[in-house]
Each structure stands twice: as C-alpha cells, then as structure tokens.
Amino acid sequence: MKKILSLFILCTMLMVVGCSESIDSSARYVFTEETIISYLEKHPQYSTYVDIVGKVKVSRMSQTTIKQLLSARGNYTVFAPTNEAILLYLEELTEKEIISAPNWEGFYSDRSRDSIYEVIAYNSVIDGGDLLVYEVGALPVTQDAEIPMPNMYDRKLSVHWGDNDDILINNSPIDIKNRDIPAINGVIHAMNRVVAPSNNTMGHLLNTYLEGRKEGFRVAAKLVKAIGMLDELTKVKDEEYENLYLTKQIPDLDVTNGNGGSNYKAWAPEHRYYGFTYFAETDEFWERELQKEVGQIEPEDVMAYLQGKGIYPDAKVNENYQEEDNLLNLFVTYHLLPEKLTTDHLVYHYNEKGYSINLQVPTVAMAEFYTTMGKRRLLKIFESKESNGVYLNRFPELSNGRRGSYHEIGCLPQNEGVLVGTPNMEGDNNIRNGMIYPIDKLLVYDDLTRSNMGQYRIRWDVSAMFPELINNDCRMSELNDEKHKNVAIPPSSIYQYLEDCDVSDDTYFFYWTGRGNGWHNYLGDEFNIQGMSEVTMKLPPVPIRGTYELRFAVQSGGARGMVQFYWGTDKERLAVQGIPLDIRLSPASDPIKLGYQKDTEDDDYNAEIDKAMRNNGFMKGSELYCAGSPGIETMARADNISSRRIIVRQTMDPDETYYIRFKTVLDDPTRQFYMDYLEYAAKEVYDNPETPEDIW
C-alpha cells in the first residue's frame, strides 16, 4: 500500500496552473524564495536540462514551454537530471544505435532529437495540481510501487528503495545530497540518470525473451505466443474512447444529491487504458522440472508435462493451442489477468482490523478475487501478517472464531499457495501496460484449489469486477482532489466504458473512492448510482458446482432508495429475485423487521440472533473491517447501519456465466442505489452443521 500523500502546504495565494496557453507569472518575484527554474538556472550542473525544458511545449496544443510552466505558480515535483546524467543517457542511446554519437548532433533527424527532448522533459515533471508535491517522505514505501500522480508523459513512475538510503525512480537514482530542494512552486530532486521509462508493452517485452535478448521468462513467452495472446498484450489505449473524450462527447455529470444534500460534480475518466498481469513460472523452474535447457523447451514439452501430471484432465490435448478448452490454453490463461496490478495493489489495504495507514504492515487475512483471462476462473490473491508475502490461492487456517483475531494460525503444505516473487522493474522491464511477476511453483486451477474456494466464503469489492477501474487509476485512488474522488461512468449508449457492465441512459453511475470520508465501507470505496437507474453486471464465476448464496453488502439510510434485483444466465431475460430490496432499511431504522440485536457477551445468544436475521434474509456486517476511517474500534458487525442482504440462493455452475440486474422502483431520481462488496457462500459454508460460518 502506498503512503497516503502528504500535502506540501504553500502560501494561500498560490493558485494551480495547468497546461494552458497563458501562464500567470505576475507574482513570481514577490517571494524571496526561488522558483524551480530560478534555482536551476543558478546551478550550472542543470544547464542542459534548463535548455531542454525551454524548447519543449507543455502540449501540442500550446505555445507555453515547460520552462515557463516551472517559472509560474503551481505545485510541481521535478526529477531534474544533471548535465552528466543527460550525457550518460545520450551514450546509452548511442550504444542502442538510436543516435550516431553522444551529442545533439548525433541524431539522424530533427524529429528524433525533438522526441528525445520530450522524453527527458515530460518524464521529469509531475504537475501536482492543488497543493500536492512529492517529497521523499511522501513517496510510496512498498517496493517498486508507483507514485499515484502520473508525470507529464502520462506515466506513473515506480519507486525502488535501495541500500544506504538510495532511492531509484524508474531505475534512476536520486542524488542523496540533493533531494527535497524546496521552491515556492514545488520541489526538486537532482537525478544522476535521466528518468526515461520504457514505452514497451508486455507483448513487446515477451518478444525480447523470445528473441533471446533477455533471460528469465523465455518459456513463459513461448507459451503466450503459442496460445495467440501476444497481440492482445500489446494493447495500451482505447483510441475510440480517447477521441470521444477529447471531442467532449463523454460527459462529466452534475449531480443532485438526495435527502437534502448539496449538489456536486463527477468527472468522466480521461482515458481507457488496458493493462495486464502475468504470474509466470521462471525459466529456472522449467529447466528444473523438464530437465532441459531453456532454449530446447517448446510448448509441446510443457503440454506433455502437464498431461503427465493429470492437470486439467478434461481439456483437449491437441495442437490447436488457441482453442479455449485446449490444455495449454487453460494452463497459460489462468496466469493472466486483464488488469495491471502493481506491487502495492496485489492486495488492497485500507481499513481492515488493526491496519495502520502510517505503518502499512499487513495484519488480518486479506484476499481479493479476480477473474482470469481466457476461460473465466477465479484467482485468489492473499496477504496477511503471517504469510510474509503475497500468495496466490492460499488457504490457511485462521483464528476466525467469534473471539478470534482472524490471523493465520497455521497452513497445511498443500494449501500454502504460490508465492508471488519480486518483479524486475529495471530499464526495459518497466513496461507501460503490465506487470510480470515470477513464481517458482506450478500455478493451476486444480480440484484442490476449486474445492478450497468452495469451502470458504468468497468476498470481492465490487470495483474489483471491472479491470477498467484498476487500469485507469480509478479504484481506490489516493489522489484526494475531487476529480479523482468522484468518477462518472458514461451510459453504454454513449460508450461501453466497463466491458462487463451495461448502464442505461437514465442512470447516473458513479464510483467514489471514499478516501478520508470516514464512510462505513469495506476498503472505503463504493458505487453510487442515481436516476431512474437500470444496470446489468456480469458476475465472477463460481469455483465448483453447488448451491450458493449471493450476498449484497450495504450501508443503509440517508438518501438510499429501493431496487428490484434480477439474476440468471440469459442477460436479456433475467429472472426477478424476490420483492424489491429497500436499502433505506437498516438495523438502526427497523431492528424488529431485520431481527437485529447487538452482540452481547453470550456467544450462544449472538448465534441465535444471527439465525433470526438470516431467516429474514439479512446478516450483520463483517467483523473484518472498520465502520468508518481506518483505525477506529467499531467493526462493521457492530455498526447499526451496515448489513448484508441475501439476494440469491441458487444452484450455480462454474461453466455458466451469471448476470445481475438492478432497477430502481422509486419515482425519485435523486435516490441512490449503493454497492460496496458482494459475496458467494456455498451451502457448505452457510449451512455447515459442524463449523458454522464465521463472523468475519
């Protein structure tokens, strides 16, 4: 988890300057301190950099230079390369034969020289918007995590903490003696190398392994190529959405809040980026398992190995690797997710029991479930204090009694899961659209994994269902300006922004990060949907065939409304599920109807209350997370506005795709439909006579 960003408070008369044509510098010299540019100009070691930013415009639509921008009001973080750093960069370009000599005359055209100017300038500046700069103390502490705010090249820079107080920004070291240099319009970090992250994609990076120019994931690259996924992994940006947004056809929304609240605005995402995560067995693993040199290992060798181990016994075994039910395809696609999960977002942490935003040390068991690429299957990503790392498909024994701690108390070897290794983020490995994590154990969706998933409650934050929210920095953004806190998803008739979610024209669909608001939400965030709404979502798959409850968690009261739920496999003909769900109703508003009473010291009595609530289709909130801001003592289970509603109890099959639709039934467009998290619970979980479902 990244650190919550510290605010660098400037003089109250300072205003934010964006990339506009006109730069207001009227008050620049009122202060005795330096602007970023005036400081750099007084120090000759930055003379080349100052010259470059004087040549580069802030955008192709403007005549203002970056030098002018950094001379004016604002809050800028500048990773300023020294003259020596720029010379070293030119030498690297010469070695790659991009230029003929390590100087500005060595470029083959003015256009290529100008593009390098832009690489140096745009990657060195983060425009912090309203009162936000990144001093060293505000950088994320998770190894190789990304700075939340992108630079002017629209890249998020990764931070690596080395030995002896070294800090690397995309493999470029900050000068230890020249960091956190204050200016009246931001902060300067002297760089001993140019910050120039690769624009390569995962597809391009895997090609370098295929060509033998890199070692470590050559077999993994061959497998992706064999199943025909390389082209998919080169995708970066949805250009159609980009054009609609730039031509103002994607609307921001003005919102009328219900229940007497004030009006506010929500902003559409600027981009629709693609992203990918690949958990890949290393070449060392395959050499050890197959007893072959990596250059001799081919896809058919891997498939024969998998067949010999009885993996995916019902799969097709033929050379048509691109077929979804092919053995090799099933194996490889289970390693791939359609979202870019950085090191600090493999498992999200925020307000779980015992977690400290300041310390950022895992505490209770936390897991997220994602749907893989190819054939849709669940992948569990897990972390706890005791796991000492992030694991895939880990199923430990937990202290999950009513008086327990929800910490790990043991883990059988067969349930240990697959440890996620440290990614290589150096140089060209730091790609634009994805992450490759090394694993040293076979990752498969075998019967044991599926059975374990079916024996545990499966809980997922609603925002985890939609890769677009993760790939476009919407989900749990740590940026606290209104634009990042209030995200508006357009109706599907304008653009299908969320691939697995259909939004009607009369629906106002918002994603709110909830950071710092003290809301009683799991992980802080929520979907808040208004208007005469109708929304249909594709649900994650279940792991095994059986009877499941689908549960809907809600923080009730206030401006909430009432919706009718529909569920089924035919998206156009979903069946009504019970009577309309009134999410204004809560334990606080009608405890008798819910069968609610607060917990006591008598756990037998508490269990009877739980049964009474279940008989009415309700459950208390989870003991896992705080009912409010991180660190408070009241858990959602003890919160009288938090509850879970059992909305579906049906037989479900892992090979079926299920949808859920909710439609407002109140004639009041200001009323809110709200979503926090959903749960699957198999009958073996919710109706187990030997081990009742835990309160967590």
The 10s digit of each residue's pLDDT in 105-146 is: 999 999 999 999 999 999 999 999 876 899 999 999 999 999
Determine which of 12-21, 184-193, 380-389, 676-685 has the lowest per-residue pLDDT on average: 12-21
Answer whether residue 181 shows pLDDT above 60. yes
Indicate the SS3 state at residue 376: coil
**pLDDT tens digits, 659-680:** 999 999 999 888 889 999 999 9
- Packing angle of the helix pair 218-226, 299-308 (nearest 10 deg): 90
Task: Give CA–CA dist 556/318, Å, rounded.
Answer: 53
Residue pLDDT, tens place only, 517-570: 899 999 999 999 999 999 999 999 999 999 999 999 999 877 899 999 999 999
Q: Rounded CA gap, 374 and 326, in Å?
A: 11
To the question of pTM greater than 0.85 for the whole model, the response is: yes
What pLDDT shows up at residue 515? 86
Chain centroid offset of residue 176 CA: 31
List beta partners, residue 126.
Answer: 77
pLDDT at 8: 32
Say how far apart CA 312 and CA 198 lie, in whole Å: 37
Going by pLDDT thresholds of 50, 70 and 90, the confidence category of residue 7 is very low
Q: Is the pLDDT of residue 414 over 50?
A: yes
Query: Is residue 480 over pLDDT 90?
Result: no
The alpha carbon of residue 431 and the mean position of all alpha carbons in its chain are separated, in whole angstroms, by 16
pLDDT in tens, 154-179: 999 999 999 888 999 999 999 999 99
Q: What is the mean pLDDT of residues 492-500?
A: 98
Residue 670 is predicted with a pLDDT of 86
Give 3-40 as a DSSP string. PPPPP----TT-----S-S----TTTTSSSSPPHHHHH
Q: Which of 561, 558, 542, 543 is nearest to 671 (CA)?
A: 561
Confidence of residue 3 (pLDDT cuts 50, 70, 90): very low
Average pLDDT for 38-57: 97
SS3 202: helix
pLDDT digits (tens, 9 = 90+) for 277-332: 999 999 999 999 999 999 999 999 999 999 999 999 999 999 999 999 999 999 99
Whether 42 has a pLDDT exceeding 90, the answer reads yes
Q: Record the tokens describing residue 696, joined without a space.
A: 């967590």
Asked if 183 contacts 462 with a C-beta cutoff of 8 angstroms, the reply is no
Q: What does 34-97 look like in DSSP terms, one character per residue? A: PPHHHHHHTSGGGHHHHHHHTTSBSSTT---BHHHHTTSSS-EEEEEE-HHHHHHHHHHHHHTT
Classify strands 167-169 and 172-173 as parallel, antiparallel or unpaired: antiparallel
Say what the pLDDT of residue 646 is: 97
**What are the pLDDT digits (tens) for 572-613?**
999 999 999 999 999 999 999 899 999 999 999 999 999 999
